Chain A
Amino acid sequence: MIKKYNIYLVLIILFFLCALINPNFLSIGNLSNISRQLAVTTILAFGATILIIGGMLDLSAGSVLALAGVLAVDCYKSTNSLILSLIVGILAGMACNLINAVMVANFKTPPFIATLAMMTMARGVALLYTQGQNILQLGDFVVFGQGTVFGMPVSVIFLIVIAIFTWYILKHTRFGRSLYAVGGNEAAAVASGINVIRSKYIAYLINGAFVGLAGVLFMSRINAGQPNGAIGFEFHALTAAIIGGTSFSGGVGTASGTLAGAFIVGFLNNIMNLANVDSYLQQVIRGAIIALAVIYDIWTKGRRTKGHLGNVEDKNKKQKVAS
């Protein structure tokens, strides 16, 4: 039970530590800036969390984000409709992930390979579509990433909606329960009457919608339709999910954990910037944190479950005593 709340403890400690180190950290401007910056990767991280829980993965997130983003931008430029361009972005993300789902669920391609292929394809399509040129002068399109409603950044509102949505589907829907089972033990899920293929489709489609939305927010924030943007964003998303306690072996993870993981990364980046830590050194630190998070996860799990020789007898014993 201690482990379950560790991550939130880390987040709170980090928050106060940051506040102590640099008084600017607590300013409304800085906090709102952190949230705005975090919105895109955190939304991607929720998609990644859903997939990893189900034993899947999306390496194509960054590329698909770029493709969805430039399509949305172009749509806005030709129609001047914010709603329409948002829908186009989301649908583009879902379309790419529909292909991911077909490869993974129907053709049983390992998710790593399938989405690696999609990563390359989507980037290619984005570059083809724009002929490698950035789309500029976005006009009102920038409200998604830069605007505010009652003082609240629009992208943060989207983030909150996605966070609640993710929490809800994981916790309260049949799909959520099925997904944990599929990732925890696919064969047993099939034998329990779970529609595994459908679960995988839904997981990729939700991820696709998140990626598409993130594309709109990202392009809007940087004020350009960049076909070459968002490279490597999928790894930022994975980082947040993993630090948030999502297990790469599948079947374990929560929306709140991922949110905490994303903010831990965000706070760290922010405080390092405020403290003028060398940006190259920042990368080293970020990498080390991922490694530590994973080692910690495996270490605690090793004690929780079977040893490498596959007998759970000792644990059984413990439980008997406990009861």
Chain B
Amino acid sequence: MDIILNLLPHIINGLALGLLFALIALGFMLIVGVMELINLAHGSLFALGAYIAMTLIDPNIAGWGSFGVWYMELSLTLRYVIGLALAPAFVAIVGMGLEICMRRTYGKKAEYGLLLTFGAALVIEESIRIIWGSSEQFLPVPEMVSGAFIAGGMIYSNYRFFAAGFGIFMIALVWLFLEKTPYGSIIKAGAHDSEMVRALGVNLTVLRLMVFGLGASLSAVAGVILTPIWGLRPHVGVDVVIPAFLIIVLGGIGSFWGAVVAGILVGLVVGIFGAYASEWSLMSMYILLIIVITFRTRGLFGKKSALEN
């Protein structure tokens, strides 16, 4: 009993972390599911979203004239909402641009897409360095969700719970979109058999463009929500893309609930591991992956995928 009580805070933290991991993996899952493309630029789009949101929330208003003055008089909460809404839209455009470049690699080996997005990740990261500089920055959050509270002798940050709640909200939203709308049906059908979908008269080119844009904007949402916790630096993308990749494979490529369950599982493992050896906590997820993949090639809920060849 004592052990459980001692572990409880770590389990709660782990659960919250797991929801955040699941949030990161959502956009990645969408792209890998429909396009069978490992998007290594996911993390850089995440960082780009966060940087754009930071600029929208706390802009350098010199030279903006009366509009700048008016804008800065808006409350922080309102500006935060504007950032959270507009940054993903910008990133979606960048993602669509990337998808247009990507078209030449369709039909070739999956590694080409992976390599191209690796190059894109490098380019986006360096562009961030040019525009915003290399030093660590700070993304402001509204007062409503900042601060901390104490429960059972442990300090919990409000923002973490807000972020976890937002994670649940986004997961529900994406699930509703995929399951309850005609667009979701088309996307899922495209993931299942793209040739048949094309034969039914769906414009596959546009579908892929939209899915990539949507996936990119989801990674940007995750970036805006998460960087207040993890800090905002140009190479934050690398810290993000690998867990996202790992969660998708752990859950099984093409499985929505697989990604969510794997995200929470990874969060829990990292949280509980952190209770005993905090230095090594992030390594536990790789060990988890190696163990699972050694025994279950396709992950926890995976089905056969073209990426295996």
Bound pair (A, B) = no
Q: Identify the B interface with A (CB < 8 A).
A: none
